Chain A
Amino acid sequence: MTSIWSQRLLDAVLFVFAAVLLVVLYSPLALSLVYSLIPVENGILDWAHPSVGPYLRMWDDPLIASAVRTTLLVGSVSVILAVILGVACALFVTSRLAVHTWLIEALVFMPFLLPPIVTGLSLLIYFDAVGIPRGTWTIICGHTLFVLAVIYKLVSDRLRALPRSLFEAAADLGGNGVQVFTIIVWPLIQPVVITAAILAFALSFDETLITAFLAGTNMTLPVRLWAMMRVGFSPSINALVTIVIMASAAIAVIVSARIRREQSEQ
């Protein structure tokens, strides 16, 4: 009996511990919400006059609006490029053509595993050496390399779980490479490609440490927010931030639901 009670006590203690950590981890969301709704007078929150006004004025700042546009553009383009490159690598590595898999994997995972500061400064120096000025394209390149590992990992895991006989049968029946891909492979990997693309987009949306090295005057939202942090956020920036955090949370819920469904189907 004492053992059961000690186990229950342990669980209760661990529960309280986990709950306290959750409060700490979620405090950024809570605080942005508070700062976006409650006006601040001389550094003191005025709880008596909450207002949703900041949410309506969110787009008034042209710098913020253009930063959001750049972020969305960079996210979409780099995810599409990373999907093409990542799926190509995954297909090669899992096909019967595969050779020196370790080299491709080492290259693909490198920008994800190395500290972002190294990836950022190496791309900055490289682009400068070959004469490409900093701008939206240099950011897109950095983000493509950063999210490539995520796409590659999820897609190659899925491909490895598929029976090889499937592709061999298709080839035996006279399908050429393109037909085998469009008719057999793509429908089977499409769900995981979409999951990986959503996750990659979320990572790109928040990427700051590589981007800061590669951005010129045209900044993404996190880099713009960093520049604004020195003077402090206005309530309307806090409103934008609250919405961004909630959207990221929604993305995380979607991704985890999709991955779980995928795993239960396998």
Chain B
Amino acid sequence: MSLRALRWTTFSALVGLLSLLILAPIGSFLVLSFASLKNGVIDHAFSVQNYVDIVSSPTYLGVIWQTIVLCAGVMATTMMLGYPVAYFIWRRSPRWRSFWLLLFSLPLLMSYIVKIYTMRSILGVNGPLNSLLVFLGILDSPTPIFLFNRLSIFVTMSVILLPFALFPIYMSLAQLPKNLIHAAADLGATHLTTFRFVILPLTLPGTLAGGLFTFILAFGDYITPEMVGGPNGFTVGRMIWSQFGLAFNWPFGAALGAVVLLLALTAIAAASLINQRGEPR
């Protein structure tokens, strides 16, 4: 076989297989989002009704907007908590850096479901948080306000997603050319000035990319809101999950999934654009 024939056979075999496994499912869910449910049976006749329903309903739009606000909050929180920690790790000696990085990456591999479960018991009426606040005299008696609302979704997601934001931030710090910082010091800049005018602007793109990563993960989550959100903590993810379960309206669930896909692609594009623009050197 000639090199050219071998090239195109291998290429089409790989792309064909990957498309069959990855593109075809995405295609079939997008197709289904244009179907509809009639008397409990899926009608495949083309219709944009699902999308019309989404954009014309204040309830759905409200949930989408509230989910965006919630996830933006999670994104901001993980960035603001992650940055000081990444900065701290970056200032350690190389040996200690890998130790601290390992300490912060271990929770990534700890069971996701268990994290939600323990956060639920921590925030609960009989949980450690209430016990602590009562013990310290801040509360007279345990309160249920920490659980089953949007606040508890926000707290739980932030705790789970923090390590995801930390690593891109640390990477952008690690890529900083050392001579820039030395140059700033030689020119008489104080540490604060160097941080404000050299370090922060150069690491902001990586920080934002890390934040957008947590935004996407938070936006698609449905188990956290289901478990700690209570009746009022409805999110897009939870709405989708219910279409494939109790509500059993797959076409509508697919249309909501398309909304998530669109938002995620926008966030990914934004993250890669920011990263390209902000590349040091």
Contact = CB atoms under 8 A, between A and B. Distances in A.
A213 B243 CA distance: 12
B19 A28 contact: no
Interface residues of B, number: 78
B257 A103 contact: no
A45 B120 CA distance: 16
B85 A252 contact: no
Contacts of B128: 31
Interface stretch (A10-18, A46-54, A159-167): A10-18
Interface in A81-133: 85, 88-89, 92, 97, 99-100, 103-104, 107-108, 110-111, 113-119, 121-126, 129
B135 interface: no
Interface residues of A, number: 73
Interface string A191-228: 00000000000110010110011000000001001100
B223 to A, nearest CB: 6
A180 to B, nearest CB: 14
Given A28-B114, A245-B114, A209 B221 contact: yes
Contacts of B111: 28, 206, 222, 225, 241, 244-245, 248
A104 B118 contact: no
A118 B261 contact: yes
Contacts of B3: 97
Interface in B205-255: 216-217, 219-223, 227, 237, 240-241, 244, 250, 253-254
A208 B114 CA distance: 11
A122 B257 CA distance: 9
B191 A6 contact: yes
A43 B10 CA distance: 61
Interface stretch (A19-27, A72-80, A181-189): A19-27
A99 B7 contact: yes
A54 B281 CA distance: 57
A78 to B, nearest CB: 12
B255 to A, nearest CB: 11
Contact of B162 (A21, A113, A209, A241): A21
Given A116-B220, A126-B29, A104 B102 contact: no
A11 B88 contact: yes
B106 interface: yes
A113 B213 CA distance: 9
A256 interface: yes
Given A115-B216, A226-B113, A28 B91 contact: no
B105 interface: yes
A237 B174 CA distance: 41
B268 interface: yes
Overall SS of chain A's interface: helix
B141 to A, nearest CB: 14
Contacts of A253: 102, 106
Contacts of A212: 223, 241
A14 B260 CA distance: 36
A123 B105 contact: no
A129 B27 CA distance: 11
A29 interface: yes
A245 B91 CA distance: 30
A251 B110 CA distance: 10
B109 interface: yes
B102 A256 contact: yes
Contacts of B191: 3, 6-7
A156 interface: no
B47 interface: no
B109 A88 contact: no
A155 to B, nearest CB: 14
A44 interface: yes
A85 B6 CA distance: 18
Question: Which 9 A/B pairs are nearest by Cβ-Cβ distance?
Answer: A115-B220, A126-B25, A14-B88, A122-B25, A28-B118, A122-B29, A107-B18, A117-B220, A248-B109
11 contacts: A25-B163, A32-B118, A107-B23, A117-B241, A121-B244, A121-B254, A122-B257, A222-B112, A226-B223, A252-B102, A256-B101
